Copies of this chain bind each other. A is one copy, B any other.
Amino acid sequence: MSLKHGLLGLLQYGSMTGYELDKAFKSSLSFFWQAKTSQIYRELDAMEGKGWLISQRIFQQEKPNKRVYTITDVGKRELRNWLPSPEGDIADAMGVRSGFLMRVFFGGEMSNQEALALLRAYRKKCLESRDALLAAHDAMAEYGPMVKDDRTAKFWNMTLAYGEAFHRAGLEWAEQSIAFLEEEQP
């Protein structure tokens, strides 16, 4: 239920349209949770059915009509109860699920060239995803002042620190593994 609760969390900061939620989600939460636009709309629909939020249609003449979502008291209570009861999530918090590692595991079936190409592509992605983290950093710096208590911002920074630590670990692993394969076959 993390996606639903992520959306609830964002709506606590203010009412938004699906489109705005999608952008807010992608700019600030997407480095630890990815969601497609179409899925966000579906979830919002389901959440309205549960009474966690209400929506109002806004008719516009210049732009397409839109729908503004507002969190309800039921929704706030739901979020409040969900936050400190992470039984399941903690269980697989350490659990990676990586198709990439699946390929590495069976790397023995590939040539050294192919395996190296795989690892180099991974390293490239690592470097690129640095940008996503920096973007999240900027987004938080932008929205941070809008939140009254700076305690909120501290938790945001904690997740950023997590992202950075894992990013660093991935990059270092890639460098070492590439070096290892390179000295295998010159």
Contact = CB atoms under 8 A, between A and B. Distances in A.
Main secondary structure of the interface of A (DSSP, over half): helix
B118 A86 contact: yes
B103 A86 contact: yes
Identical chains in the assembly:
2
A101 B32 contact: yes
Chain A contact patch, size range: 35 or more
A169 B27 CA distance: 24
Contact of A33 (B5, B32, B102, B163): B102
Nearest to A153: B108
Interface in A24-38: 29, 31-34
Nearest to A94: B129
A26 to B, nearest CB: 12
Given A105-B29, A169-B168, A97 B98 contact: no
A19 interface: no
B101 A86 contact: no
Contacts of A104: 155, 158-159, 162
7 contacts: A5-B102, A33-B98, A83-B107, A83-B109, A89-B99, A104-B158, A161-B177
Interface of A: 1-2, 5-6, 9, 12, 29, 31-34, 79-80, 82-84, 86, 88-110, 114-115, 117-118, 121-122, 125-126, 129, 147, 149, 151-156, 158-159, 161-163, 165-170, 172-173, 176-177, 180
Given A9-B105, A29-B102, A31-B95, 6 more contacts: A29-B105, A33-B99, A34-B92, A84-B114, A108-B154, A158-B180
